[in-house]
Amino acid sequence: MKTVKLKQYDNSYYEPGGTLKKLLWYFTDMLFFKTLLPFPSSLKTSLLRAFGASIGEGVLIKPDVHIKYPWFLSVGDDCWIGEGVWIDNLTNVTIGRNVVLSQGAYLLTGSHDYTKEAFDLILGEITLEDGVWIGAKATVCPGVTCRSHSVLAVGSVATNEMEAYGVYQGNPAVKKRVRNII
């Protein structure tokens, strides 16, 4: 039986941005985003736009948020991004309007192919359509689309597409009920 050989790992083909751009973002992220200091959301959204993100109006970004590469991020109007959210966007993350990412939510766009000796990098874009709510400490995995107004409950893990207005729970998350907004 074959074994994993991590010294064969090679992701040199993956270049998400120039060295200077990544370095400047690293320090900006650490100073203004991944901090408990309550910098205003207007400053944070301006910084994200300066680094190539598409950010709508009325976006609220709480302290201690980490965004890997803002140039792969699109956020619609009137979204809330809670404390401790990590948007690990090695590729595109598209967030619609009126989306809530609760405390500690994790959007994960990268993984590894465990069937390959070299543990190859795998990327998958994430789309959160309008009105989606990702609960506290919940994880959205690479390649997942959360359809309009779907909900991922606290601590749950979305590994597959979530239907519009579905409420999902567990690991892996399964549909438990329908979201009725009154």
Distance CA(118)–CA(178), nearest Å, equals 42
Q: Is residue 8 included in any domain, yes or no?
A: no
Within-domain flag for 2: no
Q: What CATH number is attached to the domain comprising 78?
A: 2.160.10.10
Q: How far apart are CA 73 and CA 41, in angstroms?
A: 16
Place 15 in a pLDDT band, splitting at 50, 70 and 90: very high
Q: Specify the pLDDT at position 160.
A: 98
The answer to whether position 10 is within a domain reads no
Q: Residue 105: beta bridge partners?
A: none
Nearest by Cα to 129 from 119, 117, 139, 144: 144
In a domain, 51, yes or no: yes
Supply the mean pLDDT for the chain.
97
Residue at 115 is within a domain? yes
Is residue 111 one of the residues assigned to a domain?
yes
- Structural domain for 139, as ranges: 18-178
The answer to whether residue 4 is domain-embedded is no
Give phi and psi for 32, each to the nearest 5: -110, -20
The number of folded domains in the chain is 1
pLDDT in tens, 47-105: 999 999 999 999 999 999 999 999 999 999 999 999 999 999 999 999 999 999 999 99
Q: What is the pTM of this model?
A: 0.96
> Mean of the pLDDT values across residues 135-164?
98
DSSP string, 133-178: EE-TT-EE-TT-EE-TT-EE-TT-EE-S-B-TTEEEEETTEEEEEE
